[in-house]
Amino acid sequence: MANSDVRFVYTDDNGMVIIVCPADKTDRTLDEIKASNCPADKTVYTVEPSKCPTDRGFRDAWSFDGTNFGVNITKAKEIHKKNIRFARTEKLAELDIEFQKALETSSDTAAIVSKKQALRDAPADSAIGSATTDAELKAQWNTTILGNSPY
């Protein structure tokens, strides 16, 4: 069995799921790799790579109960809101410039103000609060106002 045929999984002190991927090109045994890369005071599970999540969209919200991986939806919602805030930053700056130009030319600013308000309101969208899965959160991303989804 190659070293890369297993993963070591544990949860750190901050509740973050850590997955250690042993390398094949080493003289070290799996026990040596585990001892040097995983804390002795944590329960460390040996897992098949196929059991590990591949979707990293909510990586910081992963959970592991010793058998199954999951997504902590409360943490995922906060990550989603953070992603929205990040995506809207540049868009708000662009709209600020557009707003200033409209003021200078005495143009109507109502549409710009409406777009800015939609961006400000995006993290409070009710679909975020009602989401029960990471897939529902991803589907909630409003590409019309936020642009391409980070997922």
Residue 1's pLDDT is what?
A: 73
- The torsion defined by the Cα of 18, 64, 57 and 136, in degrees rounded to 10, comes to -170
CA separation for the pair 77, 41 (Å, rounded): 30
Per-residue pLDDT tens for 72-88?
999 999 999 999 999 99
Largest CA distance in the chain: 73
Per-residue pLDDT tens for 105-120?
999 999 999 999 999 9
Q: Which of 20, 19, 2, 7 is nearest to 48 (CA)?
A: 7
CA separation for the pair 34, 120 (Å, rounded): 46
Per-residue pLDDT tens for 84-101?
999 999 999 999 999 999
